[in-house]
A and B are shown apart, each in its own frame.
Chain A
């Protein structure tokens, strides 16, 4: 069965509700939710049988979940950055990412996934369906992401180091 993974703290702002609603519109899709939080009880009530709540998991289990899923969904309503899509890219998984997350610009630049309006459940469902029907597209997006994210942290660190040096020099 096609597997969608959400890794998130379960609070309203993370909008896992939209993920649950979106998978309920598609047949033969399983949604695995990793994470815990104050919104869990409410989400469990609205979730159908295709949704599995894993709660908090350790690093090795999370690695297995990333490796075994087909797509990672990041539907946050507001997120200054967002580490989960970067982790998904590292595992070569395509990402369906909220346009309200800072990390969306990384996904766009990398060509590593699809950008969605987090409140548009139909658009999320359509994006899942598109990736479900297109294994070659999934592979293309996943590979682009994996390639892009390699060495990304080092590049950012160098840029930061340069900024600190310039700042120090201009002050002295």
Chain B
């Protein structure tokens, strides 16, 4: 298969990144043609957040020419990664490319220690994120744990097809 893995940033800094890199290597070893599509080759920073609408449009343009018989979209917990998730969902629908979303966690996850100001900023983005995911949801949604599956179903009101624990190189 020609598989395109789509992930916001490809720097080996977090669990989601390490997992997706392992998946890419593993699939390649099993004889698949694997392409990795990312928005950034550097860790996210606050400046990226300010350019969200612009980034979304740029990504839609980029993904229109992206190859792959099947896309594997990595959904992970950095609200700054929303544009690439939204753009992938939209373009895959338009181009009718089967897309499997691997959810490490909801794109925006707030908790009791999130600063209040950030919570306020995030509320409309969470609403938009939920709306877009619900409308444009991919055909198959995989969660990395039962806990994540529950959170995704509660947040996005979509069905998680299965739980597949993350792959890691040891």
Contacts and interface: CB of A to CB of B under 8 A. Distances in A.
B18 A83 contact: yes
Given A80-B104, A164-B1, A167-B98, A11 B113 contact: yes
Interface of B: 1, 3, 15, 18, 22-23, 26-27, 30, 32, 69-70, 72, 77, 96-100, 102, 104-105, 109, 111-113, 139-140, 142, 144-148, 151, 161-162, 164-170
Contact of B164 (A83, A100, A149, A159): A159
A131 B79 CA distance: 39
Interface string A59-97: 000000000000000000110111100110010000000
A25 interface: no
A160 B167 contact: yes
Q: How large is the interface on A (under 10, 10 to 19, 20 to 34, 35 or more residues)?
A: 35 or more
A160 B164 contact: yes
Contacts of A149: 170
Contacts of A105: 145-147
Contacts of B32: 161
A102 interface: yes
Main secondary structure of the interface of A (DSSP, over half): helix
23 contacts: A13-B111, A78-B109, A80-B144, A81-B15, A81-B104, A83-B18, A105-B146, A153-B22, A153-B169, A153-B170, A156-B165, A157-B22, A157-B167, A160-B167, A163-B162, A164-B1, A164-B3, A164-B70, A165-B1, A167-B100, A167-B140, A170-B139, A171-B70
B166 A156 contact: yes
Given A80-B151, A83-B166, A171-B96, 20 more contacts: A11-B113, A81-B15, A81-B144, A81-B145, A81-B148, A82-B15, A90-B170, A100-B147, A103-B145, A149-B170, A153-B22, A154-B26, A156-B166, A156-B167, A157-B27, A160-B164, A161-B32, A163-B162, A164-B3, A168-B1
Given A13-B113, A81-B15, A160 B168 contact: no
Contacts of B98: 167-168, 170-171
B23 A163 contact: no
A166 B161 CA distance: 12
Contacts of A41: none
Contacts of B167: 153-154, 156-157, 160
Contact of A171 (B18, B139, B145): B139
